[in-house]
Amino acid sequence: MSPPRSGPRTRWNCEQGEETVIERYTRKVMGNLWGEEAKFQSWLEVELAVCEVLTARGTIPAGDMEIIREKAGFDLARIDEIEATAEQETLDRERQLRADVEAAEVELRAKQQELSGNNAALFQKRLQDEVDRLNETVQEGNRELREIRKARREALEKEEAKVRRSVLGWMPTLVLVVGLTLAVRRRRKHVQALGR
């Protein structure tokens, strides 16, 4: 699951495309907190902090660190464009692989029928080699399809893990704020009661 997007981009993008957070019921502060801009800004701050440490250790020259600070940034529209292109390329490649596998399987069946119908030893060897080659093509295509699906599944699992870690990271702060708020309210009521 991806974090909700702020502004015109406030919704969770589930694998099935369903909304789990409804924009009209989400306060602007919470929407901004979980928005795409906040997410990428946090990532940028982490990367800059790592660069600062590497600069302090001498791995990155100090002059280069100044350039990194000046040029570091992101463009949400460009990120969306890249993600859409990458997703489309993956889907196109998967579709093409599926078509290639299906065509190879059809050709394989035709060759197998030809092989079983023709008893001539001269043609049998050549046809068997062709059948073996087509079998390898089918297996290779299926392997690549499995790898694509596995990579997509792992990417989704990583995104879900990030969201879980983010939520767990905010919980202690949220509990502390709620506890302090309740304590302040009790104290006010107590002071008001004493004043009467």
pLDDT digits (tens, 9 = 90+) for 99-147: 888 888 888 888 777 766 655 566 677 778 888 888 888 888 888 888 8
Q: Is the CB of residue 55 less than 8 Å from the CB of residue 65?
A: yes
* Confidence at 11, pLDDT banded by 50, 70, 90: very low
Burial per residue of 32-51, b for 16 or more beta-carbon CB atoms within 10 angstroms, e otherwise: ebbbbebbeeeeeeeeeeeb
In a domain, 100, yes or no: yes
Q: Is the CB of residue 51 less than 8 Å from the CB of residue 39?
A: no
143 CB-near residues (< 8 Å, 6+ apart): none
* Confidence at 2, pLDDT banded by 50, 70, 90: very low
What's the CA gap between 196 and 192, in Å, rounded?
Answer: 7
In a domain, 75, yes or no: no
In a domain, 128, yes or no: yes
- Structural domain that includes position 107: 94-167
Out of 9-13, 54-58, 156-160, 171-175, least confident range: 9-13
Q: Is the CB of residue 30 less than 8 Å from the CB of residue 17?
A: no
pLDDT for the residue numbered 50 = 92
In a domain, 143, yes or no: yes
Out of 18-22, 79-83, 84-88, 167-171, least confident range: 18-22
More confident residue, 145 or 15: 145
In a domain, 136, yes or no: yes
In a domain, 11, yes or no: no
Domain count, the chain: 1
Question: What tokens were used for 81?
Answer: 């464009």
In a domain, 135, yes or no: yes
* Confidence at 166, pLDDT banded by 50, 70, 90: low
Per-residue pLDDT averaged across 3-25, rounded?
48
Burial per residue of 71-93, b for 16 or more beta-carbon CB atoms within 10 angstroms, e otherwise: eeeeebeeeeeeeeeeeeeeeee
Question: What tokens were used for 120?
Answer: 């001539």
In a domain, 39, yes or no: no
> What digits encode the pLDDT tens for the residues 35-67?
788 888 889 899 999 999 999 999 989 888 889
pLDDT for the residue numbered 56 = 92
Q: What is the pTM of this model?
A: 0.39
Radius of gyration (C-alpha) of the chain in whole angstroms: 29
Give long-range contacts, CB 8 A cutoff, 24+ apart: 143-151.
Answer: 144/97, 145/94, 145/97, 145/98, 145/101, 148/90, 148/93, 148/94, 148/97
